[in-house]
Amino acid sequence: MSETSNQPQRDFAATVEQLETLVERLESGELTLEDSLAAFEQGVRLTRDAQQRLDDAELKVRALTEGADGSLQVSPFAAPAVPDTSSNESAEGPQEETPPW
Position 88 pLDDT exceeds 60: no
What amino acid is encoded at 14 in this protein? A
The pLDDT-based confidence of 68 (bands split at 50, 70, 90) is low
Residue 42: predicted pLDDT: 96
Average pLDDT for 66-93: 62
CA distance linking residue 88 with residue 46, whole number of Å = 29
Say which range, 51-55, 58-62, 71-75, has the weakest mean pLDDT: 71-75
CA distance linking residue 21 with residue 32, whole number of Å = 16
Mean of pLDDT over the chain? 76
Residue 3: predicted pLDDT: 46
Position 101 pLDDT exceeds 50: yes
Residue 71: predicted pLDDT: 75
Contacts 24+ apart (CB under 8 A), 71-76: none
Residue 59: predicted pLDDT: 80
- The residue that leads in pLDDT, 2 or 13, is 13
Position 76 pLDDT exceeds 50: yes
Whether the CB-CB separation of 19 and 43 falls below 8 Å is answered with yes
> What is the number of other CB atoms lying within 10 angstroms of the CB of residue 46?
19
